[in-house]
Amino acid sequence: LPNAMNAAEITDKLGLHSLRQRNWYIQATCATSGDGLYEGLDWLSNQLKNQK
């Protein structure tokens, strides 16, 4: 998509590097086709299952 941000831009804009004691993950996705959506949700689901 035009003007779409890449993973590095999103990481910088959200300030994720400052979240050193949190697990975070950027999954590339495509809004029109849904590519990458299931992978991102799978990561999120696994993180929630593994919480202490």
Range of the domain at 34: 7-49
Instruction: For the chain, state the CA radius of gyration.
Output: 13
Domain count, the chain: 1
Residue 15 lies in a domain: yes
Q: What is the pLDDT of residue 2?
A: 86
pTM: 0.73
pLDDT score of 1: 78
pLDDT tens track for 9-30: 999 999 999 999 999 999 999 8
Whether 13 is in a domain gets the answer yes
The answer to whether residue 2 sits within a structural domain is no
Q: In the prediction, which pLDDT does 46 show? A: 96
In a domain, 1, yes or no: no
Per-residue model confidence (pLDDT) at position 51 = 87
Q: Would residue 15 be called left, alpha or beta, if left means φ above 0 and alpha means ψ between -120 and 50 degrees?
A: left
Q: What are phi and psi of 27, to 5 degrees?
A: -110, 120
